[in-house]
Amino acid sequence: MEEFEDNLYCDFDAEAVQAVAGKDILLALFDSTGTNLLAVAGQQGLTINRSKDTFEVNAKTSGGGWKSYLGGLKEWSIDNDGLYVGNHASHKALTKAFNDDDFVCIKVINQKTKESLFGGIAIVSDYPIEAPYDDAVTYSVELMGNGTLVDLSDEDANQMPGDESEGGVEG
């Protein structure tokens, strides 16, 4: 028997069906013991920035007037924002890391599929809290990467926030 009438109108391999909803991607960080993975409470936005220095390698005789470049050092950072939940362990950990100039171990996960996406060590470089008189209190945080942002898609890094068996704490 043909599956989905030979995908005549139910093509589950189509790009749109394979797309990932941004609401499913979460930033989490380990607490200071390294055993509890905390989803950052209240988060709404998440941007993973990856960039590379480039430098020109031109000569008068190269490229017919076109510039040429080589890649240099790479860097990464994460911008995250949302509703501020100051009494949550994740925000307490971010505040402590900011105040003490400590590094944090972060992990980006897909909460729907329970897949790990990226992980690394970062420092909290910016952590403002905004409290307008006519809206909810919000936060934004910038995490500057220290070393490699590890692609966890092919790694055995299964711990999710709230995993009781792994010592996790609900985020």
Taking alpha carbons only, the member of 152, 117, 106, 129 closest to residue 42 is 129
Mean per-residue pLDDT over the chain, rounded: 90
What per-residue confidence (pLDDT) applies to 82? 98
What per-residue confidence (pLDDT) applies to 19? 82
| Residue 68, CA distances (Å) to 8, 51, 52 in order | 47, 18, 15
Residues in the chain: 171
Residue by residue, DSSP assigns 97-165 as: HHHHT-EEEEEEEETTTTEEEEEEEEEEEE--EE--TTS--EEEEEEEE-S--EE-TTS-----TT-TT
Tell me the pTM. Answer: 0.84
Q: Residue 99 is encoded by which pair of tokens?
A: 């105040």
Whether 143 contacts 77, CB under 8 Å: yes
What would the pLDDT profile of 26-43 be if each residue is shown by its tens digit?
A: 999 999 999 999 999 999
What per-residue confidence (pLDDT) applies to 165? 42
Whether 46 contacts 108, CB under 8 Å: yes
What per-residue confidence (pLDDT) applies to 41? 97
Answer whether residue 170 shows pLDDT above 70: no
Question: Which domains are present in the chain?
Answer: 18-151 (4.10.410)
- Residue 14's identity, in one-letter code, is A
